[in-house]
């Protein structure tokens, strides 16, 4: 076992989808966001497991990602694209039956001219200032766009992971102002918005991070574990240093394990001298700087020499690891590298 092993629990993924689905009333559809290669876990396998669990609508960031998901799912499920109908994507949108979420008059014009009659959705900006039409632009085009029966009208919350943030209520009000009276299905919430309660659910929710076991869905079942093989161990004496720059110094005679995995695998350099790995339930601190392919770990206190150490698993969630690198679970997941051996557990298909 030369390379690190990333284990993805498809049953946990399915359980998280069902749990988020159960948080909204039965007339609210729960979609699944599988952008960025299924948050780094493999969009094809992830999408198939979620379809098995009951998801019928999937969202990706770009048309190329939609193509990969269509290949995995076959015809049937709706696959929507947040970036809308970009120049050059027309053939892919048509051939793979993807649904662009159109976010400007320019995109609406492009879509209606290139693919008349092809499904589309509408994306509105209610205050995040990232994607979608603001009120004046929407007012100018709404009548024409609505005549062509969009599949969905959606917007996105900027601060949903902070329940008390005033921006949530402000965006909710703006979304109502822009869409009340329209008969098209509406969607405002990702994972954070689901947790804000029924006012935010509308007709469809779009969870991503919660499916993969990340905050703010605290009740999530962990989905990923990552185990790094020990390449070599060595004894260092008091005052010897470990790794580039000699930033870790042995205060007592110590035992160091060098494990396979580094910043080229998404184990961020910010974890240097901060993160912990686990041998069973025993934490072992990172000793020195994370290098490209290797990490030094202080195992002085272990009675035996382990063959591998866990950096993600039951003792350390993606959010706990993220906190040690001053980042968020999303970045940890989507940074996970291509060198890992991926092992999928559970699932049926
Ligand atoms: C990424 C994204 C989601 C999913 O967000 P999570 O916070 O991961 O649940 C939903 N909608 C849009 C527009 C997104 O960009």
pLDDT digits (tens, 9 = 90+) for 116-151: 999 999 999 999 999 999 999 999 999 999 999 999
Length of the chain: 349
280 contacts: CB under 8 Å, gap ≥ 6? none
**Based on the domain organization, do 202 and 315 belong to the same domain?**
no
Computed from CA positions of residues 120, 105, 85, 186, in that sequence, does the dihedral angle turn out positive or negative? negative
Last residue of a domain, one of 212, 244, 270: 212
Q: In this structure, is residue 4 part of a structural domain? A: no
Same domain, 256 and 330: yes
DSSP string, 271-302: GTTT-EEEETTEEEEB-S---SSEEEEE-TT-
Looking up tokens 């198939």 gives 48
Residue-wise pLDDT tens digits, 58-91? 999 999 999 999 999 999 999 999 999 999 999 9
Does residue 231 share a domain with residue 208?
no
Look up 39 and say whether it is catalytic: no
Q: Looking at the domain assignment, is residue 155 inside a domain?
A: yes
Q: What is the pLDDT of residue 24?
A: 98
- From CA 69, how far away is CA 76, in angstroms rounded? 12
My answer on whether 89 and 172 are in the same domain is: yes
Per-residue pLDDT, 295: 98
Final residue of a structural domain among 186, 212, 238: 212
Q: Which of 226, 225, 206 is nearest to 55 (CA)?
A: 206
User: What is the domain range of residue 149?
Assistant: 10-212
Within a domain: residue 336?
A: yes
Instruction: Give the per-residue pLDDT at 3.
Output: 85
**Number of domains comprising the chain:** 2
Confirm or reject: Cβ of 13 under 6 Å from ligand 1.
no
| pTM for the whole structure | 0.96
Alpha-carbon span 300 to 252, nearest angstrom: 9
The whole-number pLDDT of residue 2 equals 75
Residues 208 and 287 in one domain: no
Q: Do 100 and 229 reside in the same domain of the chain? A: no
Residue 5 lies in a domain: no
| pLDDT tops 70 at residue 23 | yes
Are residues 178 and 257 both part of a single domain?
A: no
Cβ–ligand 1 distance for 57 under 6 Å, the answer no
Same domain, 317 and 263: yes
Taking alpha carbons only, the member of 264, 311, 270, 310 closest to residue 289 is: 270
Does residue 3 lie in a domain region? no
End-to-end CA distance of the chain: 27
pLDDT at position 259 over 80: yes
Question: DSSP per residue over 135-186, as a string?
Answer: HHHHHHHHHHHHHT--S-EE---SSTTSTT-HHHHHHHHHHHHHHTT--S-E
Q: Which of 97, 173, 212, 244 is catalytic?
A: 244
Is residue 254 lining ligand 1, measured as CB closer than 6 Å? no
pLDDT over 60 (residue 1): no
Q: How much of the chain exceeds pLDDT 70, in percent?
A: 99
Q: Which residues contact 249 (CB under 8 A, 6 or more apart)?
A: 239, 240, 241
**Could you tell me if residue 75 is inside a domain?**
yes
pLDDT in tens, 203-215: 999 999 999 999 9
């Amino acid at each position: 076992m030369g390379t690190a092993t990333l284990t993805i629990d498809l049953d946990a993924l399915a359980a998280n989808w069902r749990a988020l689905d159960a948080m909204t009333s039965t007339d609210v559809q729960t979609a699944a966001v599988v952008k960025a290669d299924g948050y780094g876990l493999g969009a094809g396998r992830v999408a198939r497991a979620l379809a098995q669990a009951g998801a019928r609508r999937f969202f990706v960031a770009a048309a190329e990602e939609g193509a990969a998901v269509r290949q995995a799912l076959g015809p049937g499920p709706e696959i929507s694209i947040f970036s809308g109908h970009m120049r050059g994507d027309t053939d892919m949108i048509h051939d793979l039956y993807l649904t662009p979420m159109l976010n400007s008059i320019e995109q609406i014009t492009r879509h209606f001219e290139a693919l008349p009659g092809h499904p589309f959705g509408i994306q509105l900006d209610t205050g995040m200032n990232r994607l979608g039409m603001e009120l004046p632009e929407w007012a100018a085009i709404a009548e024409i766009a609505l005549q062509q029966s969009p599949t969905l009208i959606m917007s996105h919350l900027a601060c949903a992971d902070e329940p008390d943030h005033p921006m949530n209520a402000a965006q909710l009000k703006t979304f109502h102002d822009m869409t009340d009276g329209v008969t098209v299905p509406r969607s405002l919430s990702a994972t954070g918005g689901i947790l804000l309660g029924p006012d935010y659910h509308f007709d469809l929710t779009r969870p991503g991070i919660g499916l993969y076991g990340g905050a703010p869905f605290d009740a999530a079942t962990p989905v990923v574990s990552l185990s790094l093989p020990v390449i070599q161990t060595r004894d260092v004496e008091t005052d010897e240093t470990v790794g580039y720059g000699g930033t870790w110094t042995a205060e007592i005679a110590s035992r160091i394990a060098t494990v396979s995995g580094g910043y080229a695998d998404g184990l961020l350099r910010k974890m240097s001298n901060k993160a912990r790995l686990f041998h069973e339930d025993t934490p072992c601190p990172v000793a020195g700087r994370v290098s490209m392919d290797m990490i030094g770990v202080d195992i002085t206190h272990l009675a035996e020499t382990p063959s591998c150490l866990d950096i993600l698993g039951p003792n350390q969630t993606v959010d706990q690891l993220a906190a040690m690198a001053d980042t968020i679970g999303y970045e940890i997941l989507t940074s996970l590298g291509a060198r890992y051996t991926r092992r999928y557990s559970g699932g049926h298909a």
